[in-house]
Amino acid sequence: MSVFPGGASASGALHLPTPFFIRSVEADNERTRTITLNASLNAIPGQFVMAWLPRFDEKPFSLVAADPVTLMITAVGPFSKLLHRLQPGDRLWIRGPFGRAFRLPCHGIRAAFVGGGYGVAPLLWLARAWLPDLDALTVIIGARTSDDLLYMDRFDALPKAVKESAARMKIFTCTEDGSAGVAGLATDQLEAHMSAGELDLICACGPHGMLAAIDRLGEKFAVPRQLSWEAYMRCAVGICGSCELNGSVLCLDGPVLEHGNV
Closest contact distance (angstroms) between CB of 248 and ligand FES is 10
d(CA 211, CA 213): 5
**Residues in Cβ contact with 61 at an 8 Å cutoff, skipping those fewer than 6 apart:** 48, 49, 50, 51, 71, 72, 73, 121
Note whether 233 binds ligand FAD by CB under 6 A: yes
Note whether 257 binds ligand FAD by CB under 6 A: no
**What interhelical angle do 208-221 and 186-195 show, nearest 10?**
10
Q: Which is nearer to ligand FES, 181 or 255 (CB)?
A: 255
Which one among 9, 62, 187, 189 touches ligand FAD, defined by CB under 6 A? 62
Phi, psi (deg, nearest 5) at residue 193: -70, -35
10 and 4 Cβ atoms separated by less than 8 Å: yes
Q: Which residues, numbered 103-132, are part of the site for ligand FAD (CB under 6 A)?
A: 117-118, 121
CA-wise closest residue to 111 among 93, 129, 92: 129
Q: Which is nearer to ligand FES, 6 or 88 (CB)?
A: 6
Which one among 27, 76, 161, 239 touches ligand FES, defined by CB under 6 A? 239
Q: Please give the size of the binding site for ligand FAD, defined by CB under 6 A.
A: 20
Which one among 17, 45, 46, 60 touches ligand FAD, defined by CB under 6 A? 60
What region, left, alpha or beta, does residue 236 occupy, with left being phi > 0 and alpha being psi -120 to 50 degrees? left
Residue 77 interacting partner from ligand FES, ligand FAD, none (CB closer than 5 to 8 Å by kind)? ligand FAD
d(CA 176, CA 142): 8
Closest contact distance (angstroms) between CB of 192 and ligand FAD is 26
Task: Summarize as ranges the residues that interact with ligand FAD (CB under 6 A).
Answer: 48, 59-62, 72-74, 76-80, 117-118, 121, 230-231, 233, 255
